[in-house]
Amino acid sequence: MSRLSGKVALITGAAGAIGAAAAARFVTEGASVFLVDRDAGAVAAVAAKLGPAAAAHAADVSDAAQTEAYAAAAVSRFGGVDILLNNAGIEGAVGPRIDESPIDAFDKVMAINVRGSWLAIKYVAPYLIKRGGGSIVNTSSVAGLIAYSGGSAYIVSKHALVGLTRAGALEYARDGIRVNAVNPAPVESRMMRSIEEGFAPGAAAAAKTAVLGTIPLGRYADVDDVVNLMLFLASDESRYCTGACFVVDGGITAA
Ligand SMILES: NC(=O)c1ccc[n+]([C@@H]2O[C@H](COP(=O)([O-])OP(=O)(O)OC[C@H]3O[C@@H](n4cnc5c(N)ncnc54)[C@H](O)[C@@H]3O)[C@@H](O)[C@H]2O)c1
């Protein structure tokens, strides 16, 4: 299969569960992938497994100078960028209500999830324009469309990515750049283990059972469920889609 033949994809949070799976799938589909993560060792390991179509770069996405540098490094390594998968994100503090939440934890979630994604567009969009267009995919969440108690910073940040998606889509449509969001359900992953433990310290299994009760299809997503959608939005198959949020949520937001 070669649905991304000849394309260069820049993926942030590429050492994590979803980012690494997207990187592998994009390479299978013919892309070269420039992988950015703050975990230098882990992102290098992901790239090493994928061979010469992949390159690793350690950076903190919330830092403007590092973002400008990773965008330039991607172009220098692969000659340009066609796809930006804005995927780095953290869950932050889970459990406390707003009045009990640490301010620095809120600031950190916003810096990585929102500022990081905005900075990526700021520095990568000019390179997409040079290629005559491209696709930006922002990893939001069902938490970008609905809320729950005990995750305010994450929920605010993922709602902000919906706004970033719409604003970016309008600003860059005439440059041939499409901007969309994916809004996944909970995924079987480290992040969900952390969120379950935050909801119910010492009783994560019970928290998972409660979350599963909100999912009509009765299971968490697996990374491939999410990557299938990312691939569609990254590819030209979604050429008439922009400014939209695409759920892959087992029916959560239908309820
Ligand atoms: N796991 C889920 O259930 C789920 C559901 C919906 C949406 N999401 C979103 O999907 C994205 C990926 O999640 P995941 O499950 O793969 O999480 P993960 O924790 O496995 O991966 C996130 C990656 O981002 C990196 N990262 C964190 N802060 C960074 C920074 N400042 N600079 C550079 N890299 C940084 C981490 O090192 C990690 O490798 C996140 O945006 C997350 O909010 C996850």
Domain ranges of the chain: 8-254
CATH number of 8-254: 3.40.50.720
Residue 7 sits at φ, ψ, to 5 deg, of -90, 155
Residue of 123, 154, 172, 220 marked catalytic: 154
Q: At what angle do helices 64-78 and 116-130 cross, to 10 degrees?
A: 30
Centre of ligand 1 to C-alpha 16, Å, is 6
Residue pLDDT, tens place only, 162-213? 999 999 999 999 999 999 999 999 999 999 999 999 999 999 999 999 999 9
pTM for the whole structure: 0.98
What's residue 82's pLDDT?
A: 99
- Nearest CA residue ID for atom 40, ligand 1: 89
pLDDT digits (tens, 9 = 90+) for 2-46: 999 999 999 999 999 999 999 999 999 999 999 999 999 999 999
Cβ of residue 22 lying under 6 Å from some atom of ligand 1: no
Among the atoms of ligand 1, which is closest to the Cα of residue 113?
Answer: 41
Residue 90 alpha carbon to ligand 1 centre in Å:
5
